[in-house]
Structures are given as structure tokens and as C-alpha cells.
Structure 1
Amino acid sequence: MSEKNRDGKRAARERLAVEREKQKAAEKRRRTLIVGGAVVGVLALATVVGVLAANAGKSGKSGATGPATVPSGATGKDALAIPVGKDSAKSALTVWEDFRCPACKAFETVYSPTIHQLADAGQLRVEYHLVTLIDGNLGGSGSLRAANAAACAQDAGKFREYHDVLYRNQPSETKDSYADNAKLIDLAGKVGGLDTPAFQKCVNDGTHDSWVAKSNAAFQSGGFSGTPTVLLDGKNIYTDRTMTPAKLKQMVEAANKS
């Protein structure tokens, strides 16, 4: 088999993997519509197919008040981005995510191995922005609580590892399990060296709640339509139906060669 054919088949398999993850998320939404009734169904549908800004405005009612305590090492405008990777990387990936969002989990499941590989190779810098849209649309506080815990993990230098743990253990979209700080602290045990008294205090005190609320407000005012929003050097690649991990890798490598 030629190298061209092998690459073509590999790209096809990756596209199928992406579609399968999207179909799984769609099936979860369909079950929510059936079980939850008309009101919950409409909210759930809005959450994943767009998370419209009008609905997202409800997420401001998080109870987060006071000055924003910025996580260690946060960068960008108003220090609202958590960076992963080297500053010298020629490509930048901006990711807006909600830890309760099933579409975000689908994206991370398919793309995170490639993103980590490129970041570790010094070719890609990733900037994560945390938002709380699901809290606003379905109620609860799991998006806020999980985002605060992730910011606490950033203080401990363990953001990427904890970020991945949160997505691997993500509860059903309609179950607000991440509203429980004890659950978030328990999951920290899956990351070596993270479950410390300092981390526990940060989570229980909601140290970064106001910072998370400020990040969510920036998302709302940014004109974005939903989560995840994924921008490669400013271009929205999540809406590109031809995008695959292999294509992302090719684009980043090309940028680093230029």
C-alpha cells in the first residue's frame, strides 16, 4: 500500500472517530429531550447546538462576587487564559470550554492526544478559557465549581492533568455532580501531588470564582456561539467539518516551518 493511501485511510479513520463522538453527544441530547420534557429539552438542546448568548447570560447568577483572584501564570487580556505549552511556539490554539459540556468532552476525547503531543514538542501553545454556560442553561453550579477547581490546579502546576481528569470523569449533562467540592477534591487524587491542603482550601473557598465569572463574561461579550469554541491562530477550526487531528497537526507543523 502506498504512503498516500495509508495517509488517506488514517485521515478517514480520524474523521469517523470525530463523527462517532459527535453522534454520542447527540444521542445523549436526544435522551435528555425525551426524559426531561419540553422545558428541560429546549434548554438542553440550546446548550449543545449553540448555547445561545441570551441563555448564557443566566450564568452570571453564580454568586461569584468581589475582585478576581487570578490563577498562577494566567495570561492574555485581563489574565483570563491558562496557558499550556511554550511561549516560543509559532501556533496558538485558543479553547473556550465548560467542564459540564458534553460536546467539549467529545472534542477533548478526539483531539487532546494530538494537542498534547504538539504542545510537548514546542510547536503549539494552548490557551484555555473556562466558562459556565451549562450552569446558566440547566441550572446548578458544577461548571463554576469545576472551573474554580481547575484554576486551583493551575496554582499547583497541575492544570493540564486535572483538566483531562475532569473530562474523563464528566457526569451526564443534566447531573450537577461537579457542584460537589468533595467530588472535585476526590478526583484530584487521580493527579499525583495535587490533593494537598492548599488545593482543598482553594476549592472549598471558591478562591477563583470571581475570575471564572469574569472569564465567562468575556466569552459572552466575545460574540461566540457555544462551547467548545476552538481557534487556531484566530481561525475557528471546530466548525470546519473537514478538520481531523491529523489535519490539525499538519497545519501546526506547517506554521512552525514557515
Structure 2
Amino acid sequence: MSEKNRDGKRTARERLAADREKQKTTEKRRRTLIVGASVLCVLGLAAVIGVVAANSGKDKGGKAGPAVAPSGAQGKDGLAIPVGKDGAKATLTVWEDFRCPACQAFETAYRPTLHELADTGKLRIDYHLVRLIDGNLGGSGSLRAANAAACAQDAGKFRDFHDVLYANQPKESDDAFGSDAKLIELAGKVPGLDTPAFRSCVRKGTHNSWVDKSHKAFAAGGYNGTPTVLFDGKNIYADQTMTPDKLKKRVEDANKG
């Protein structure tokens, strides 16, 4: 074999090795970003409980009002917004914050599977809304987005608006969801949602105190970050081996029993 051919083969092997190393690095960076997002959404209990206690039921200086649960809310104190059939044999409990990047990462990865399982009657998802990032970074976007989602629930459009919020989530440090106008603009992406009743609900903060009550329940439950995703009482989001396919199998197994 000529020296030129040997050099050519060696160069090809080196390029292949470099490509493999680059692929590994990319995958490692992807995992790091997801973990990093999770860390950013971790609850500093003492600090945030203090913020919630000081601001519970208030909206930019407004007075506290009664906790008005959205239509169809279920569970203890009516703090869960259900998606899926009540008779489903499997239930997933999700604690989430619409400003939380880790929540968006979970939604992006699991949404098709959750929609499929809910639509086929195999799974019910109980969503609990919290205002974690408001306490960590300031602003009111978590609260206002959660209130708007509850207003969408009143209109029977929760899941669609829920998905729109995550699809248009701003950077965690950007309090864009603190704008009623922005939330109403996004409601225009859901057919039939942008109505006078919805706009009034958003602007009045009809469900703000309910969101604060849900956040207090989150803190009292000892949960330390969002998303907290419970299946059979265990936080599957904390299980780094969990995948949408594995969750689907667990749900299907539950439906066989």
C-alpha cells in the first residue's frame, strides 16, 4: 500500500472519530441543557413561601379576593384541572409553571404521548398550576399565565391554550406573560377562545387567588421543583431513565389490570 493511501485511510478514520466525538458532545450538551433547565426551576422553599405568604391573592398591589376555581376543577380544594376521561384507570399528576423551561422541555418530549393516551381514554392528567418563577425571578408572568389558562378552562379550551403557552414560552428571565395583552394575543391562536368573557377573566385576574392557593399546596406538599410529574405516587420526571414509551407502557399495563 502506498504511503498516500495509508495517509488517506488514516485521515478518514480520524474524521470518523471526530464526527463520533462531536455527536457525543452534542448529546451530552442536550442532556445538560435539560438538567440545567430543571435546576433553574427548583423551588427555594423558604424564600418562595415567604413571597407567596406576603403576596397571596394579590395582583400588582391588588387586594386579596376569594379563591375562584375554574369550571370543572377537581381534586382536593378544586385545585386540579383534569384533561382526559374521569373513568381512566391511570392518572398523571403534573405540577407546572408556564414560565419554567424544564416544564416546556417535558411538554415538548411527552405531549404527543399524553395527548394519545388521554384521547383514547387510558389516562387522565390532573394539572396543578403554580407561580414558582415569579417568586424566584420576580414578575407576574407565572401567575397571569396560570390565571389565563384557568380562564381557558372556563371556556373548555384549557388543553389547547396550555399547549400554545408552552409553544410560545419566553425566556425564563423575560416576564412577557406578565402582559394581559400578550396572553390575549396568544388566545387568538386557539379557535373560539378570544371572547369578551375570556378577556374579562384575564384582565380581572379572576383566578389569581386560586393559583396562589394551588402554589401553597405545592409548597406544603414538599415538592422542590417544576415540573413535578407523579404516576403511582412517584415523580417520574426525576427518573432519568423514563421515556414517553416507558410511560405509555406503564399506562397501558394499568389499563390491563
Q: Is this a same-fold pair by TM over 0.5?
A: yes
The aligned counterpart of 2:99 is 100
The aligned counterpart of 2:156 is 157
Q: 2:48 aligns with which of 45, 52, 56?
A: 56
Using the TM superposition, give the Cα deviation of residue 19 of structure 1 relative to its aligned residue in structure 2, in angstroms.
7.5
Using the TM superposition, give the Cα deviation of residue 20 of structure 1 relative to its aligned residue in structure 2, in angstroms.
6.8
Check whether the contact 1:162–1:188 (CA below 8 A) recurs between aligned residues.
Answer: yes
What TM-score results when the alignment is normalised by the length of structure 2?
Answer: 0.83
Using the TM superposition, give the Cα deviation of residue 233 of structure 1 relative to its aligned residue in structure 2, in angstroms.
2.4
The aligned counterpart of 1:137 is 136
Map residues 30-41 of structure 1 onto 2, 5 A cutoff. none
Q: Does 1:69 align with 2:61?
A: no
Counterparts in 2 of 1:186 and 1:223: CA distance versus 1, 3 Å: same
Find the aligned partners of 1:126 and 1:246 in 2 and give their Cα distance: 17
What TM-score results when the alignment is normalised by the length of structure 1?
Answer: 0.83
Q: Does 1:124 align with 2:116?
A: no
The aligned counterpart of 1:84 is 83
Find the aligned partners of 2:28 and 2:129 in 1 and give their Cα distance: 25
* Paired residue type of 2:174: K
Counterparts in 2 of 1:127 and 1:22: CA distance versus 1, 3 Å: farther
Q: How many residues align?
A: 225
* Paired residue type of 1:54: A
Check whether the contact 1:18–1:244 (CA below 8 A) recurs between aligned residues.
Answer: no
Find the aligned partners of 1:18 and 1:54 in 2 and give their Cα distance: 35
Look up the SS of the partner of 2:200 in the other structure: helix
Counterparts in 2 of 1:120 and 1:18: CA distance versus 1, 3 Å: farther
Find the aligned partners of 1:219 and 1:53 in 2 and give their Cα distance: 10
Q: Does 1:23 align with 2:32?
A: yes
Counterparts in 2 of 1:210 and 1:123: CA distance versus 1, 3 Å: same
The aligned counterpart of 2:14 is none
- Aligned Cα root-mean-square deviation (Å): 1.9
- Deviation string 1:7-54 (CA, Å, 9 cap, x unpaired) is xxxxxxxxxx99876533456x6xxxxxxxxxxxxxxx9643x22212
Counterparts in 2 of 1:18 and 1:104: CA distance versus 1, 3 Å: farther
* Paired residue type of 1:23: T
- Deviation string 1:134-159 (CA, Å, 9 cap, x unpaired) is 00010000000000000000000000
* Paired residue type of 1:95: V
Check whether the contact 1:130–1:216 (CA below 8 A) recurs between aligned residues.
Answer: yes
Find the aligned partners of 1:78 and 1:174 in 2 and give their Cα distance: 31
The aligned counterpart of 2:213 is 214
| Identity value in percent | 65
Counterparts in 2 of 1:147 and 1:21: CA distance versus 1, 3 Å: farther
* Paired residue type of 2:203: N
- Deviation string 1:183-220 (CA, Å, 9 cap, x unpaired) is 00000000010000000000000000000000000001
- Listed as ranges, the gaps of 5+ residues in structure 2 are 1-25
Bigger radius of gyration among the two: 2
